[in-house]
Amino acid sequence: MRSFQDYRDLEVWQRAMRIAGEIYRLTKGFPRNELYGMTSQLRRAAASIPANIAEGWGRRYRAEFIQFLRQANGSRTEVETHLMLSAQVNLCTQERIQPLLTELAILGKQLLNLERSLQRKESRGP
């Protein structure tokens, strides 16, 4: 694994930021009465994915970074669920969310791969 100088260099963080931006654009089209409901839930969960990656990086301890990656993954699955529910209750179409679900699945694999890589480094020692 190559060495990174900043969390913004991580492809996983970059993908999470793109997804969060797409969630904001998607929810702009939600009804006003969902502003404090699904709109807020989706935006909060989507924003917490890259935020957790960044916070974990900032902690500077591998074990803490791994924990924050797990939290980011939990937020990722929360976003998936909210997207599926949004389509189910006709806030958006399945066609509109499918690319996001695909990106979220890729992000999940990236998060898991990064976590495993960090765990291997941890088990080998300094």
Domain count of the fold of the chain: 1
Judge whether 2 lies within some domain.
no
* Mean pLDDT of all residues belonging to the chain: 95
Judge whether 73 lies within some domain.
yes
For residue 102, what are the domain limits? 8-124
Judge whether 3 lies within some domain.
no
Contact, 83 vs 55, CB < 8 A? Answer: no
The model's pTM is 0.93
Judge whether 103 lies within some domain.
yes
Task: Grade residue 119 by pLDDT with cuts at 50, 70 and 90.
Answer: very high
Residue 30: exposure state from Cβ atoms within 10 A (0-12, 13-18, ≥19): middle
Judge whether 1 lies within some domain.
no
pLDDT, tens only, 61-108: 999 999 999 999 999 999 999 999 999 999 999 999 999 999 999 999
Judge whether 45 lies within some domain.
yes
Judge whether 70 lies within some domain.
yes
Q: What CATH number should be reported for the domain holding residue 108?
A: 1.20.1440.60
Judge whether 93 lies within some domain.
yes
In the chain, the N- to C-terminal Cα span, in Å, equals 15
